[in-house]
Amino acid sequence: MTTISQSMAPGQLTAGRLPKVVVPALLAGAALLGLAISLLVGGGNLALAAALAYIIFLIAVEVSARIVEGARQAADRRATSMIVGAFVLALLPLGSVTWEALSKGAARFDLTFFTYSMRNVVGEGGGALHAITGTLWVTGMATLISVPIGLMTAVYLSEYGAKNRLAKAITFFVDVMTGVPSIVAGLFAYALMTLIIGPNTGFGFAGSVALSVLMIPVVVRSSEELLRLVPNELREAAYALGVPKWLTITRVVIPTAISGIVSGVILAVARVIGETAPLLVAAGFTASLNNNLFANPMMTLPVFVYDSYAHPGVDVQVYLDRAWAGALTLIAIVMLLNLIGRLVARRFAPKTGN
Amino acid sequence: MSTTTAPVDSDTSPSSAADPRRFGDRIFSGLAAASGIMILVILAMVAAFLLVEGGPALFADPAKLISEGYGEFASWVAPYAFGTVWAAVLALLMAVPVSIGIALFITHYAPRRMAAPLGYLIDLLAAVPSVVFGLWGAELLAPSVRVFYVWLNENLGFIPLFDGKVSGTGRTILTAAVVLAVMVLPIITSLSREVFLQTPRLHEEAALALGATRWEMIKMAVLPFARPGLVAAIMLGLGRALGETMAVTMVLSGGKNITFEILTSDNPNTIAATIAQNFPEAFGLKTNQLIAAGLVLFAITLAVNTIARWIVSRRAEYSGAN
């Protein structure tokens, strides 16, 4: 009672409330003040201005709410400001990365970039054709390996496992597998290939194996979730017609969930297509086009970006421009895959029968 | 009764195994089980092959490692192991409060219709490839935060964390940790969002009905309920931060110093970054030694993830009762 009565005038039934215009007004004032201070001491640094404005706003809201509304409302407003602030803060890197990639990547985002490799290129010119085809080969092969294993495991977990100990162990280790660091997956692929064919400088298929280790758990998780969404009535109807279980699964259960499964696979591809570290270790570097997954190093787009940045030639800027163009291409591919994945999921959503 | 059960029994009797359709059933279920077992085998192989290829360095004579490798194993890997954990912890210190704030914003503050698109916006952050974050951190973030580091060092230099000579490039462990924080943010956010959404609606409404403000409701109903889930989300974020390679490789100018000073140019490198930087040029025993370092990293992340998953699964068992 004490806290409430403090903020209430005698004879008044409700506690005071700040008028609705106060918070926007304080925000605008704080922004102006922050900008002014930043101009005076920091030479107009925008980051400094924003940080100062935010602190001034927090203090102003706290003080005015405490005077008019009392301590509890002030705490509520403080929490609101900080939570909204956290969200805005997270948008900054997203906006900054997108802007940087667009503005710096545009310089070399041209026809040459998509039609030339880096073979015999030391200065200007050159492109990422070898890296783009390499990425398609390696990721395509990884998808070919991961989808059958991942999908069949999901089928086992949702249709056959019935919570037995093997299913429980698989579920647990699939979760553990999602946490395998990407570079460890690359080292694994390298170690595997070294044991089979001896020391090597990397080749495309090893990269595919590394990516599969990262991709399989994603495919299992999303497919299992989708298969479990298929209504049991469909299975029972099929059994009642005398259809064997495996045909029920392949002709009824999977087709019902296929859109979700496809979208899950696309999102899984989007996740691994940007992986750099495992390919750096397992697939190696090259400046030339290589369409053979099983011999000689194969360049991939993420490794191309890293290589252009980390090992530039004499004219550093030329290499940096190529790195940013590669980064822009990579972002475009990943965003496109994400978009397609979500569209497929929404457009062809499973028909649940009602 | 016996007559009605007889046909059902015959379904599983040996005679029906000749039925081609049941034969297909057995093959299909066998394939499904084999795929599941395959996953267990792959995970076991990851550990086994790292051990086989890393073994020569793990069990080699220290003198041989000094002449042909990078030096005695334990003392070589110790600073990197420290750097890995230190960078990840710094990243989490920044990412956790922000992620929980974002998750609360999306679940409890944003207008209902905006919640899904805003969540998608944060998920986009997870879609940006790590190499792009590395490029961004090295080219844009590191040069622009240096001013701030100088200020921190001059005004708060008495705190050991900010002591020492400020790096001229801004490529310090703090910058790397900021990039890592941005990268683990969407993971912690999406997991916390799920946990917050599971809060029983009645608990929230009861708190509000008793006159609690929105923040008091969150403190009393949402956060206590979500605590185990949040711990698991943070652990999974930690696992991701420990294993992240490219951001650190490209941003940090790492060395072999074990130090808690986060603004200087003497930074401990991380295990993952050390492997990425040295692997392409390594040969012979050096390769083995890097793989052994990978094994150390694998062990650290495996432990962190297993604990996190254990917390999640333990929670799943009793959360239904609420």
Predicted confidence (pLDDT) per residue in A306-321, tens digit: 988 888 878 888 888 8
**Bridge pairing between strands B254-255 and B267-268:** parallel
- Whether residues A274 and A130 fall in one domain: yes
Q: Tell whether the model's pLDDT for residue B167 goes beyond 50.
A: yes
Backbone angles phi, psi at B260, to 5 degrees: -95, 0
Partner-chain residue, chosen from B28, B135, B309, that has the shortest CB–CB distance to A327: B135
pLDDT the model gives residue B281: 82
pLDDT the model gives residue B4: 41
Handedness of CA A188, A190, A192, A195 (dihedral sign): negative
Give the CA count within 13 Å in the CB-facing half-sphere of A201. Answer: 10
Q: Which CATH number fits domain B71-319: 1.10.3720.10, 3.50.50.60, 3.30.70.141, 3.40.50.300?
A: 1.10.3720.10
- CA proximity to A113, closest of A304, A347, A338: A304
pLDDT average, residue stretch B117-146: 87
**CB neighbours (10 Å) of residue A347?**
9
| B232, B306 contact by CB (below 8 A) | no
Backbone angles phi, psi at B226, to 5 degrees: -85, -10
Q: Mutating which of A87, A200, A269, A307 best tests the B interface, going by the most B Cβ atoms within 10 A?
A: A87
Q: Which two tokens stand for residue A138?
A: 């390696």
Partner-chain residue, chosen from B128, B242, B246, that has the shortest CB–CB distance to A331: B128
Residues of A in contact with B280 (CB under 8 A): 280, 284-285
Last residue of a domain, one of A55, A89, A106: A106
pLDDT the model gives residue B315: 63
- Whether residues A125 and A164 fall in one domain: yes
Highest mean pLDDT out of A350-354, B17-21, B69-73: B69-73
Test A213 with B236 for CB contact under 8 angstroms. Answer: no
Closest chain A residue by Cα to residue B104: A83
Tell me if A352 is assigned to some domain.
no
Q: Tell whether the model's pLDDT for residue B209 goes beyond 70.
A: yes
pTM for the model: 0.86
CATH number of the domain that A299 lies in?
A: 1.10.3720.10
- Whether residues A53 and A144 fall in one domain: no
- Show the domain range for A30: 2-7+16-106
Q: Which two tokens stand for residue A13?
A: 């039934």
A92 touches chain B (CB under 8 A): no
- Whether residues A54 and A94 fall in one domain: yes
- Whether residues A151 and A59 fall in one domain: no
Q: Tell whether the model's pLDDT for residue B20 goes beyond 70.
A: no
In whole angstroms, give the CA distance from residue B154 to residue B320: 53
Tell me if A47 is assigned to some domain.
yes
Average pLDDT, chain B: 83
- Whether residues A161 and A193 fall in one domain: yes
Residues of A in contact with B305 (CB under 8 A): 175-176, 178-179
Q: Percent of chain B beyond pLDDT 70?
A: 91
Nearest-neighbour CA in chain A from B178: distance (Å): 10
Nearest-neighbour CA in chain B from A55: distance (Å): 16
Quickly state the pLDDT bin for B7 (edges 50, 70, 90). Answer: very low
- Whether residues A173 and A321 fall in one domain: yes
Residues of B in contact with A174 (CB under 8 A): 39
pLDDT the model gives residue A10: 60
Tell me if A305 is assigned to some domain.
yes
Test A187 with B294 for CB contact under 8 angstroms. Answer: yes
Tell me if A249 is assigned to some domain.
yes
Tell me if A161 is assigned to some domain.
yes
Quickly state the pLDDT bin for B18 (edges 50, 70, 90). Answer: low
Domain total of chain A: 2
- Whether residues A130 and A59 fall in one domain: no
Spans in chain A with pLDDT lower than 50: 1-6, 353-354
Last residue of a domain, one of A51, A71, A106: A106
| B86, B161 contact by CB (below 8 A) | no
Quickly state the pLDDT bin for B9 (edges 50, 70, 90). Answer: very low
Give, as one character, the DSSP assignment of residue B19.
Answer: S
Tell me if A353 is assigned to some domain.
no
pLDDT average, residue stretch B29-37: 90
- Whether residues A125 and A221 fall in one domain: yes
In whole angstroms, give the CA distance from residue B94 to residue B34: 43
β-strand partners of B267 = B254
* Model pLDDT for residues B282-297, shown as the tens digit of each residue: 888 888 888 889 999 9
Test A177 with B43 for CB contact under 8 angstroms. Answer: yes
In whole angstroms, give the CA distance from residue B155 to residue B157: 6
- Whether residues A73 and A157 fall in one domain: no
pLDDT the model gives residue B19: 65
Residues of B in contact with A191 (CB under 8 A): 49-50, 52-54, 291
Give, as one character, the DSSP assignment of residue A352.
Answer: -
* Model pLDDT for residues B72-89, shown as the tens digit of each residue: 888 888 889 998 999 999
- Whether residues A250 and A320 fall in one domain: yes
In whole angstroms, give the CA distance from residue A96 to residue A91: 8
- Whether residues A146 and A101 fall in one domain: no
Residues 44-63 of A with CB under 8 A from B: 45, 47
